[in-house]
Structure 1
Amino acid sequence: MERDIETFMSDSLDFFQTFDDMKVCYDGGQSIVERALYGAAGGILSRNVVVRRKTAMSVYRLEQVADYLCTIELAAVKYAVHEDGETYDKFFGGVGAFKRNWLKQARRKRMN
């Protein structure tokens, strides 16, 4: 995983170098993901560029909203192609409940 992130960052190095700072925000849910993210960013961009701070995700409300909306849209795509699986049904209550409740509410908030 770290190697894939490093490859992506190397291929996009000109873009990343246009920024003064880069923040890697990860809630530490999976240590292997955290190590891959920080290792790749630190290895490619240098340790001086990466800003690492212990924070709570509640500080990053906009990112939480974006994550929520992306999760809902991904679920809609998976339901549409019948790749949802049992976890989606347990969490959302099936495709009907998902469309009536979760998807309807999220799409009502869309900005066009």
Structure 2
Amino acid sequence: MGRDTSSAMVEHLDFFQSFDDVKVYYDNGQNIVKQALDRSVGKVLSKVVVRRRKTSMAGYRLEQVADYLSTIELALVKYEAKEDGETYNKFFGGIGSFKRNWLKQARCKRI
């Protein structure tokens, strides 16, 4: 996972270097993901420029909304490709339930 993240960042290094600040938003849900992100960002963008701060989830509400909406759109892609799997069905229900409830609500929020 770390190698893939580093490779993607190197591939798009010009993009990342065009910013004054790059923030990594991750809720520390899985330690292995946190470690992969930390190592990749530190390796590719230099450990000297990476600053770590303790943050609160309330400070990143916009990112949480973006994460939620991205999850809904990804679920739609998975359902349509018949790659939804049991986790999607347990959480969202079948495709009909997903479209009536989750997708409909998310699409109503579009700007």
What is the TM-score normalised by the length of structure 1? Answer: 0.87
- Structure 2 residues not aligned, in runs of 5+: none
What CA distance in whole angstroms lies between the structure 1 residues aligned with 2:34 and 2:108?
Answer: 34
What CA distance in whole angstroms lies between the structure 2 residues aligned with 1:68 and 1:10?
Answer: 27
Aligned residues: 111
Superposed CA RMSD in Å reads: 1.5
| Corresponding residue number in structure 1 for 2:101 | 101
Where 2:55 maps in the other structure, the secondary structure is coil
What is the TM-score normalised by the length of structure 2? Answer: 0.88
- Structure 1 residues not aligned, in runs of 5+: none
Q: What's the % identity of the aligned pairs?
A: 67
| Aligned partners of 1:6 and 1:40 also within 8 Å | yes
Where 2:8 maps in the other structure, the secondary structure is helix
Query: Per-residue CA shift, 1:21-72, capped at 9, x if unaligned?
Result: 2211111111111111111111121123223112222211111111111111
4+ runs of 1 displaced by more than 4 Å? none
| Corresponding residue number in structure 2 for 1:48 | 48
What CA distance in whole angstroms lies between the structure 1 residues aligned with 2:77 and 2:10?
Answer: 31
What CA distance in whole angstroms lies between the structure 2 residues aligned with 1:11 and 1:90?
Answer: 36
Counterpart amino acid of residue 78 in structure 1: K
Structure 1 residue 62 corresponds to structure 2 residue 62: yes
